Structure 1
Amino acid sequence: MIFTIEEINREPNILPSITLGYKVYDTCDMYALRAAMSLLSDVGDEVQNSTCNGAASVQAIIGEAGSLQSSIIASSTGPFQVPIVSYFSTCTCLSERRKYPAFFRTAPSDYFQTKALAQLVRHFGWTWIGALANDDDYGRFGTQQFIEQVTEFGVCVAFSYILPKIYNPDKISQIVAVIKRSSAKVIVVFSREREMLQLVQEITRQNVTGIQWLASEAWITGAVLYTEQFLPYLEGAIGFSFRRAEIPGLREFLLGVKPSPHEGSSYTNVFWEELFACKLKLPENTTEGSYTRARLCTGSESLEGIDTIYSDTSQLRVSYNVYKGVYAIAHALNRLSLCESGKGPFINNSCASIHNFKPWQLLHYLKEVRFTDQFGGEIGFDENGDAIASYDMINCQRSTSGKVKYVQVGRFDSFAIPGQELSLDEHSIVWTECKKCSSDDWSNNERTKCIPREVEYLSFEDATGITLSVIALVGACLTVAVIAIFFRHKNTPIVKANNSELSFLLLSSLVMCFLCSMTFIGRPSFWSCALRHTAFAIIFVLCVSCILAKTVVVLMAFRATLPNSNVMKWFGATQQRTVIFFCTSVQAGICVMWLVKFPPFPMKNTTYQNTKIILECNVGSVPAFYSVLAYISILSCICFVLAFLARKLPDKYNEAKFITFSMLIFFAVWITFIPAYVSSPGKYTVAVEIFAILSSSFGLLLCIFTPKCFIILLRPEKNTKRMLMNKC
């Protein structure tokens, strides 16, 4: 206001030779009426400057900001007919001319704002919305009119609440809880910055996202709301704001403000002390040494390097309304001063004197003001004192620097052709609604962008993968070494006595068992997933089938030593091969049906950890998976029972007790494996599975073949036919 008055005073075409003066009162909301009365009560005071003449009483008021305060002032000062021009009061109730005959405003009435918001809702087809309002005339009237207009379009209101004027955390928490539970994701809020700040603080605390906020002009460009903390929850808010203008010279004027040490209670001094955390003057009865809570201001501190809302002139909307209000009064005064005697609008065609006029005379000219300012804005008032309604549609977006930017994405002009008042640039709009990240991405902590998830699987480069690979290769090499030992001593009694053909087949299958465990390592693919489960199932059944055949041979061999027994002819080499082939074929048949109908396949597991993609193999058919495990278990149980029954047969003919030990190890490993498998996260699930395969394979290798290798290599004297023929 001060900047505009000084600009007008320098303007030669408006009020030449006339200097405008002003008084400034901080109403602090609660004292608006007292401030207004103070302005009007100085009728008897004369101007102290000798170069001026005329009374010091105020002939027009710029303000108030709030609708409630403006209604109180306008109704109280109405009888005095003092023009009041508000720059921010938008309540439709203030358009009632009989009640507020001297009230004007450069901010459009909420009637047009609610109409604009209702058309926006209709345009995007939103039919289920929520509404929140400030606990004053502005909020209540605005919400009421908005609901009335959208219901005509068939829109349903999910909820409507009044935000407490005095901070009430319980009430705010209840409202946010309703928002969180509601399926309505579009919410309109008629509120001021202060009440909206209380709401968004609770929104942040309860982490309520995915809301499309429709903002009233009172908070859509409120910088205090769009901080780093709150921007993730308000980004994408849409609302209608007053027209913006870039006022030349205003920023330089603001940065040139300096405090005065002679004005202890000046608002400039208070601002200076708050901004620089210092004191311009020490409190009375104190010394500089005793007052240490704050340093003294020099008054020469620079505002240039301070990044505050005060010096930000990029979004001059409310300030532009003040600018227009002051110019409207100046133009009214100018017309009053240019009145020609005998052609005036008052009694007997009289004119008012610019040096001694009454407020009602200025009021007459203010009603007729209409001009275009230097920014192309048309300024004037209708019969209700309302400004020409025109809005910028604002979308709050995040800039590349991470800060908020107010992007104009449309306009609303009340004087446009009916049905064409709203114009949009939809491609420029950024929604708040949550954009779901792809399955390969996850949102960052601020929920502002998608970032790639960490991909996890048991790889050959991983320490666990390397360790298991080495163990598997060691197991395969040991088994090959045993094969070499048996082949080198294939004609010795101990190798022949333990059925060399079955031994070589069992050892070969154990080599494949060790190697097939490595198919579980590496990035899962369709072929590796199909191979790892079915190959293990078939190879392990082959191992167990060989052990089962060896166990039966032990039992049959003992029976053959009995008098008149010819049992071995019923379980010779051909029958042994048939048992192994049949048992393995059953498992192979199950695996073939599994692969044909519901084969295992690679999948991305994102349910265990949100920030990770766990690459794993889905078994495809769960019944088939459990069928192959059940079949292995059945064969192992049969083998264990037979070996257990044969464990006490004469030692020279018997490897049943070693088979019993190997089966016990097998059961212990796989029984332990089940809970470990279920509870292991991510890649460690596969590691547990590999560990079970390797452990059971080592159990079979060591328990069955270590005693034989010991005799062959270290006790060759026992590897004779005579020793084997001796009974224990």
Structure 2
Amino acid sequence: MIYLCCVINFFLLLYSFNSRALRWMQTMTFAINEINQRSDLLPQLKLGFHIRDSCDDIPVSLRASLDKSQERNSSNLGCAAVQSTVSPVIIGDAASGVSMALLRSLGSFHIPLVSYFASCSCLSNQRDFPTFMRTMPSDAFQIKALAQLVSYFGWTWVGVLGLESDYARFAIQLFLQESVQYGVCAAYTHFYPVVLSQQALDELLDMSSSKVIINFCSDSEMKGILREVQRRNITGLQWIASEAWATAKTLWENFGGLLAGTLGFAIRRADVIPGLKQHLMSLRPSSIYESAFFAEFWEETFNCRLNGSVNSHSHMGDNYLDRLPCKGTEDLNDVYSAYSDVTQLRVSYNVYKAVYLVAHALQDMSNCIVGQGPLPNGTCADPKNVKPWQVSVLIFLHWGEKVIFDQNGDPIAYYDLLNWQRMPDGSLHLVKVGFYDASSPAGRSLVINDSVIQWPVGKQASRSVCSDSCPPGSRIARRKGEPICCFDCVPCAEGEVSNMTDSLECSRCSENTWPNKGRALCIPKTIEFLSYHELMGIVLCVVSVLGACISLSILAIFFTYKDTPLVRANNMELSFLLLVFLAVCFLVGLLFIGEPSDWLCRIRYPAFGISFALCISCLLAKTVVVLMAFRSTLPGSNVMKWFGPNQQRTSVLLGTVIICVIWLLTSPPHVNNNTDYSATIITECVTGSEVGFWCVLGYIGILACMCFLMAFLARKLPDNFNEAKFITFSMLIFFAVWTTFIPVYVSTAGKYTVAVHIFAILASSFGLLFCIFSPKCYVIILKPEKNSKKNLIQK
């Protein structure tokens, strides 16, 4: 038989004894013994091993790996006793930094190294570490899981701690890079030495800015930190455990009050390794003298002193000599120890897989067919003379065949999310509250059951943010020189909305919409126009109809008394036309009320222009007729023939209709939805052609000026016959109304502009109506005795 020697590196003794590591060591011996007893696996080979304590120290680990001739701590299958060729395979180390040092130092020997706990992503570099394999997932997966975890609970402001080691440095660097895409920031980042000084603790525990802390270390370093946290009475911290201490139950005994509610990812657990429990519990007082490791464990577990112990005890403290001698009747079943706890077989299972990985690779070597082998040119390794590099190739090939791995050769990770919960009796219960499966599709790799989580304080997750979330209706404004998680919330500008929490920018609403009060949603703008249903529209409508009714009533009075001297003397036909046009002017105001449409706009402005032009034309004709009648009294004068009924009708219609027709044919008025205002769409009529609109107004203005001038020239005619003074006064009111209307019209908007326009129409129309016709109605109705020819021709 050929014995293949495996050098196994564990760290059991550093500053205190590590019972977990002893369980890992025993798991390795159990796996080797199990393989050696099997007839279907390596029937022609036997595995031997050397166990070395690395003390988590690089020089010690290098010396232990290179010096295989030492017999101390070796098993009874020690390689020194084997006469055949020995090919070493190193299983270990647990620490990433020590593993890196071993690989660099032993690289020229091509000795394969299979680690069961070294998780640093730096070891995934196959160019630098071609002989490295591991059964432990890379930290790259753990970091993705941690970043998603803190993001899931809304923790955007977290403290990050790490031991001064390659493992922590690379892990924290990856976390800082990964967390950016989830909007998570590091409130602080501290690296601390293995031996914690008071100054290091003071810097480390300045945690006031964050209550959520991620710590990349092992359980032994965690004890020093928790001891100081306990001394300072710092409570309410939400610890996030890296996989190195996520299942370290030894921390609970002294620091359970601080660790309740802790969350952490642990590597996949094996439900059971058949026979391992019995193997661990088979340790008896009679066998503990065989190994310094067992002796140390026994003395630590039962707090006693072994006679003839091979240990130096220099690290065990001054009270060692005060211990009572061990009785020899101690039983592991009577005490709890991390060594015998097989409820969380995670790292132990990695050790178990690592041993079997080597065994299956050697089995493939034994079954190799020449010409189809994995080595160059299809060759096979000689089982009687195996080279280290050949073992390395075989292990790596077997790794690729049996395990799912990524492009770096790392096993795809599966982590259990554990929650540290206090049981009624005060004991610790590691409850699985979720998992992370790196092989799952993006967005579904992390699954959490919130309802079963026990929190450090209260019944829900603590808040840990630098700045509170910006609600919808606001946006994030970064603070210069500070992390992206620290920001101010700025309300969206007018016309802009944000409908998400923590929106980076606000979006502008469309022309037809406007933000609601909270500026979180664009809602349709209010359509505004002067409606018949509102008070202002009702009042203007009533006044317009009333004015038209008064005009028609006066027309009826004049028609009834058309044969009287007063009616006939004041150009009866023009008076009738003026009253009709004034009634039309009053009714034109109704065209400005209600929702505009294209046809209504095409009627509105021309009707306004024509009706007022006709009214002023009638007044102008009346004034000219009066003036010419008194200025043309010379015998044989032909002036009056130019101011007969036909000429008067022609003067009224001339110009007004022509301008409006040209306007409507070239660029008519039309409806327009004005969206330039904030929360309102103003439905309004626009003039179409500005030239046509101002030509109509200009024409009315010219007629009014001419009318005023003629009335002024007729001011000295006989009072009883002359109505020029009434026309003059009506024109003054007309000018006052429309000159006041222009600035008010320009300065208002929406329905108020329309209301001002209607008011100007009504005010000027009432001015003309009452100034010209009220004196005549007074005489006709109340002073009929003055309605005589004799009275009219009195000087």
TM-score, with normalisation over the residues of structure 2?
A: 0.49
Q: Which residue of 2 aligns with 1:367?
A: 396
Say whether residues 1:236 and 2:266 are aligned partners: no
> Quick one: distance in 2 between partners of 1:380 and 1:268?
37
Q: Which residue of 1 aligns with 2:84?
A: 54
3-state SS, counterpart of residue 423 of structure 1: strand
Post-superposition shift, 1:347? 4.0
Task: Give 1:160-559 correspondences, 5 Å limit.
Answer: 160-176=189-205, 178-179=206-207, 181-182=208-209, 184-227=210-253, 229-245=254-270, 246-258=272-284, 266-276=292-302, 277-281=304-308, 297=326, 301-370=330-399, 379=403, 382=406, 384-435=408-459
Q: Structure 1 pair 77/259, CA: closer, same or farther in 2 (3 Å)?
A: farther
Given residue 35 of structure 2, which amino acid in structure 1 is its aligned partner? I
Q: Structure 1 pair 339/160, CA: closer, same or farther in 2 (3 Å)?
A: same
Q: Which of 138, 145, 153 is the aligned partner of 2:167?
A: 138
Q: Which of 115, 122, 127 is the aligned partner of 2:144?
A: 115
- CA deviation profile, 1:341-395 (whole Å, cap 9, x unmatched): 33222244321122320111111111122499xxxxx746555342221111111
Q: Provide runs of 4+ in structure 1 moved above 4 Å.
A: 46-53, 259-265, 291-300, 380-383
Q: Structure 1 pair 339/333, CA: closer, same or farther in 2 (3 Å)?
A: same
- CA deviation profile, 1:254-276 (whole Å, cap 9, x unmatched): 11024667966532233234334
Post-superposition shift, 1:51? 11
Q: Structure 1 pair 292/365, CA: closer, same or farther in 2 (3 Å)?
A: closer
When structure 1 is superposed on structure 2, of 140-149 and 257-266 the one drifting more is: 257-266
Say whether residues 1:89 and 2:114 are aligned partners: no
Q: Structure 1 pair 425/49, CA: closer, same or farther in 2 (3 Å)?
A: closer
Task: Give 1:507-656 correspondences, 5 Å limit.
Answer: none
> Quick one: distance in 1 between partners of 2:321 and 2:120?
48
Q: Structure 1 pair 310/340, CA: closer, same or farther in 2 (3 Å)?
A: same
Contact map agreement 1:258 1:268 (CA 8 A) in 2: no
- CA deviation profile, 1:88-122 (whole Å, cap 9, x unmatched): 11111111111111111111111110000111122
Q: Structure 1 pair 356/266, CA: closer, same or farther in 2 (3 Å)?
A: farther
Q: Which residue of 2 aligns with 1:7?
A: 34
Contact map agreement 2:301 2:337 (CA 8 A) in 1: no
Number of aligned residues: 417
Post-superposition shift, 1:143? 1.1
User: Percent of counterpart pairs with the same letter?
Assistant: 41
Contact map agreement 1:103 1:385 (CA 8 A) in 2: no
Q: Which residue of 1 aligns with 2:132?
A: 103
Given residue 112 of structure 1, which amino acid in structure 2 is its aligned partner? F
Post-superposition shift, 1:280? 4.2
> Quick one: distance in 2 between partners of 1:49 and 1:147?
46
3-state SS, counterpart of residue 395 of structure 1: strand
User: Larger Rg: 1 or 2?
Assistant: 2
Unaligned 5+ residue runs, structure 1? Answer: 285-290, 373-377, 437-728
Say whether residues 1:17 and 2:41 are aligned partners: no
Contact map agreement 1:74 1:100 (CA 8 A) in 2: yes
Given residue 84 of structure 2, which amino acid in structure 1 is its aligned partner? G
Contact map agreement 2:374 2:394 (CA 8 A) in 1: no
Post-superposition shift, 1:396? 0.9
3-state SS, counterpart of residue 241 of structure 1: strand
3-state SS, counterpart of residue 158 of structure 2: strand
Post-superposition shift, 1:294? 5.7
Given residue 429 of structure 1, which amino acid in structure 2 is its aligned partner? I
Q: Structure 1 pair 340/304, CA: closer, same or farther in 2 (3 Å)?
A: same
> Quick one: distance in 1 between partners of 2:321 and 2:151?
61
Post-superposition shift, 1:138? 0.9
- CA deviation profile, 1:175-222 (whole Å, cap 9, x unmatched): 21x11x22x222111111122111111111122222221110011111
Given residue 257 of structure 1, which amino acid in structure 2 is its aligned partner? L
3-state SS, counterpart of residue 16 of structure 1: coil
Given residue 219 of structure 2, which amino acid in structure 1 is its aligned partner? E
Q: Which residue of 1 aligns with 2:62?
A: 33
Q: Structure 1 pair 283/82, CA: closer, same or farther in 2 (3 Å)?
A: closer
Q: Structure 1 pair 263/384, CA: closer, same or farther in 2 (3 Å)?
A: farther
- CA deviation profile, 1:504-538 (whole Å, cap 9, x unmatched): xxxxxxxxxxxxxxxxxxxxxxxxxxxxxxxxxxx
Given residue 404 of structure 1, which amino acid in structure 2 is its aligned partner? L
Post-superposition shift, 1:164? 2.3
Given residue 135 of structure 1, which amino acid in structure 2 is its aligned partner? E
Given residue 342 of structure 1, which amino acid in structure 2 is its aligned partner? G
3-state SS, counterpart of residue 136 of structure 2: coil
Given residue 198 of structure 1, which amino acid in structure 2 is its aligned partner? G
CA RMSD of aligned residues (A): 2.9
> Quick one: distance in 2 between partners of 1:163 and 1:12?
50
Q: Structure 1 pair 333/185, CA: closer, same or farther in 2 (3 Å)?
A: same
Q: Structure 1 pair 131/40, CA: closer, same or farther in 2 (3 Å)?
A: farther
Q: Structure 1 pair 188/273, CA: closer, same or farther in 2 (3 Å)?
A: closer
- CA deviation profile, 1:638-680 (whole Å, cap 9, x unmatched): xxxxxxxxxxxxxxxxxxxxxxxxxxxxxxxxxxxxxxxxxxx
Given residue 197 of structure 1, which amino acid in structure 2 is its aligned partner? K
- CA deviation profile, 1:118-155 (whole Å, cap 9, x unmatched): 11122222222111111111111111111111122222
Q: Structure 1 pair 66/168, CA: closer, same or farther in 2 (3 Å)?
A: same
Q: Structure 1 pair 432/5, CA: closer, same or farther in 2 (3 Å)?
A: same
Contact map agreement 1:369 1:380 (CA 8 A) in 2: no
Post-superposition shift, 1:405? 1.0
Contact map agreement 1:92 1:111 (CA 8 A) in 2: yes
Q: Structure 1 pair 129/301, CA: closer, same or farther in 2 (3 Å)?
A: closer
> Quick one: distance in 2 between partners of 1:39 and 1:50?
8
Contact map agreement 1:368 1:380 (CA 8 A) in 2: no
Post-superposition shift, 1:422? 0.9
Q: Which residue of 2 aligns with 1:149?
A: 178
> Quick one: distance in 2 between partners of 1:362 and 1:64?
18
Q: Which residue of 1 aligns with 2:499?
A: none
> Quick one: distance in 2 between partners of 1:232 and 1:367?
45
> Quick one: distance in 2 between partners of 1:330 and 1:385?
19
